Amino acid sequence: MRLMRLVTVSILLAGLAPAFANAHFKLLEPASWLVEDNRGDPQKLGPCGGTSATAGTPSGVVGTATGGSKLHIKLQETIYHPGFYRVALAVRSRDELPPDPVAVTRDTEKGPWSISGAIQSAPQRPVLADGLFLHKARPTEPYETDVQLPNITCEKCTLQIVQFMEEHGYNKDGGYTYHHCADLKITADPAKPLDKAWQ
């Protein structure tokens, strides 16, 4: 009987293991370009989510925003992991999105393990904000902030939000980073000068 209980507990713990091994987040605002489940999946593959097994289902949503103004971002960390978030904007092509944050790692018996990721203290285009919501404790509320958009016009820009995970093993699809994107139609504010470097 005792052996049976131990086996049952071991199976239950094994079933919980992936939840502790992988962080997840759900993009709440602006609306994601992919249909997300309650954990925010699929989100491993860069630059905008999906996995090597499934690309995900496009939502078809294109949000609207005014250039030269603040854009509200809201996300929910659905499975906790220490780390931080970064926001970037591609104007013409997703190829403009930056590589994932460079990781500092240590070797373990199970492979490389992330210690930290590079943060731009003064974000450079196409990064709008970096090192957001740096945390080492489980969040109790959604994360929210406003980021400044360049004053540009584009029919379908890509806003990328990534989560860099500290204290995490390497995963084949996304390394130490999870990815979400939102498609945005941005209209420049005629009362402000255009940000020509972004055109």
How far is residue 43's CA from residue 101's CA, in Å, rounded to a whole number?
A: 16
pLDDT for 22 equals 59
What is the residue-wise DSSP string for 93-125? -GGGSPPPPPEEEEEETTEEEEEEE---SS--T
Q: Pairing between strand 177-187 and 62-66?
A: parallel
pLDDT digits (tens, 9 = 90+) for 43-71: 999 999 999 999 999 999 999 999 999 99
**CATH numbers and ranges of domains, the chain:** 23-192 (2.70.50)
Say if residue 145 is exposed, middle or buried (CB neighbours under 10 Å; 0-12, 13-18, 19+). middle
pLDDT for 199 equals 80
Whole-model pTM: value is 0.87
